[in-house]
Amino acid sequence: METENLKQEKWYESMTFKMVLIGIMGLFLLIPLALIKDVIRERSANAETARTEIGQTWASAQTVTGPVLNIPGTQVIDKDGNFITTTMHILPDELRVNGVLEPEIRYRGIYETVVYESEIEISGSFTIAGFEQLNDYTWEWDKAYISLGVSDNKGISNKAELSIGGRVISAIPGAGQSDLFDRGVSFPYSIDSSKLAESGGEFTLELHLRGSSSIAFSPVGQTTKVALSSKWNAPKFTGNFLPAERNVTNEGFTASWVVTHLNRSFPQVWKGKHYSPADDAFGVDLILEADHYTKAERSAKYGLLFIALTFLVLIIIELRFSRRIHIFYYLLVALALIMFFSLLTALSEHVGFNPAYLISAVATIGLLTFFFRSLLDKGWMTLLISGLLTGLYVFIFFLLAMKDYAFLAGNIGLFVLLAALMIISARYRLFRS
């Protein structure tokens, strides 16, 4: 009976059984890690909501389309005189846009977003031609108008006036049609049908436009040239076309695009709703470089790696030096490591990601160093674990900073770590059959 109890005690206290318990505990620790990721995503959503609210009161991201010449038309479809209506759209021969963006950081609570004011000069020329294939309609040239699409009319902060053919036309609210865009302004432009060849010509338009986060332009010209400049030093060029030339420095950026009608997906003249020029828009996002929520969520993905490696070191210490560590202490260590990610997220909202990472890492390593020093009573063991954690935090930080090569560097690092564990376990024969 005594022998049986002894065997049971040895089985209960065996390292194999303990490792199974540690593995089960590690699986349960995925739950708080997942909860922290949910908190990070929730805070990120709150930040996005704050940006949207600022945009709703200031002006949202802007896409400028046009100007476009529009001519209403009708077509009789039966003997009873029933008819259908449509609108013919004529795009400029040449479109030139020069814009200067003045960015500004706005806050809603602890959340921030970037807004801008811009001075945009739009110029070009119209030639009324190319609509011969649409002569089955009766076009009302005297009701023609020029429309300019703007994503958010709240951003127009000046009295927009269009100069064309010796005329100066003030803008009226509304785009005048919904074939191309829903929002914008329009300019009444009555045309004498007997003098079509003489109509059109050069036009200019100065627009003071406010917006948030980004600005884009649709390539409606047969040749579209856009030049933008700003003091913002963190641009992201987006859309269907990248700049032909760009220069980004600490003082700001300049960029220019050249797009021809052969590059886009719509013609120079058409009727109705067949095409959407805004789908081919291009421009720039004024991004906030410190996207701490994205980095915090990426770092939390490595949480299990932190826990597993620390547990492995503790197991190796137990096996190599016959130093028993209660499983409760494993749990405390894991909770301290998990707390790092929550602390990182909270601090990054106030001081930025890099300082938050440094503070959180130092605090976590300091806490665990004190804990292991009291638990193990051997300074070199404490230094070993502290050094491992320090190296791991530094390694993860560089992985977060590396965008294009993070996956490659991560795999190389894990391969080296696995090789080291294999060598150590084989060298000291930690596990004997």
Burial 37-76 (b: 16+ CB within 10 A, else e): bebbeebbebbeebbeebbeebbbbbbbbbbbbbbbbeee
Q: What confidence score (pLDDT) does residue 432 get? A: 57
Percent above pLDDT 90 for the chain: 31
Q: What confidence score (pLDDT) does residue 2 get? A: 46
- Tokens 């160093």 locate to 369
Q: What confidence score (pLDDT) does residue 3 get? A: 47
pLDDT over threshold 80, residue 79 = no
Strand intervals (E) in 325-371: none
pLDDT over threshold 80, residue 237 = yes
DSSP state of 277: G
* Terminal C-alpha separation, the chain: 27
Percent above pLDDT 70 for the chain: 91
At 70, the pLDDT band (50, 70, 90 cuts) reads very high
Q: What confidence score (pLDDT) does residue 425 get? A: 67
| CATH 2.60.40 is the classification of domain 59-289 | yes
At residue 252, φ and ψ (nearest 5 deg) are 145, -160
Q: What confidence score (pLDDT) does residue 6 get? A: 45
Distance CA 94, CA 224 (A): 6
Classify residue 10 as exposed, middle or buried by CB count within 10 Å of its CB (0-12, 13-18, 19+).
Answer: exposed
Query: What angle do the packed helices 327-351 and 303-321 form, to 10 degrees?
Result: 150
pLDDT over threshold 60, residue 242 = yes
Q: What is the pLDDT of residues 85-105, one digit of tens each?
A: 889 999 999 999 999 999 998
| Spatial contact of 173 and 204, defined as CB atoms under 8 Å apart | no
The pairing of beta strand 223-230 with beta strand 94-108? parallel
Q: What confidence score (pLDDT) does residue 374 get? A: 79
pLDDT over threshold 80, residue 9 = no
Q: What confidence score (pLDDT) does residue 206 get? A: 92
Average pLDDT over residues 249-253: 92
pLDDT over threshold 60, residue 337 = yes
Query: What angle do the packed helices 303-321 and 15-28 form, to 10 degrees?
Result: 170
| Spatial contact of 59 and 154, defined as CB atoms under 8 Å apart | yes
Q: What confidence score (pLDDT) does residue 120 get? A: 95
CATH 2.60.40 domain extents, the chain:
59-289
Q: What is the pLDDT of residues 279-288, one digit of tens each?
A: 999 999 998 7
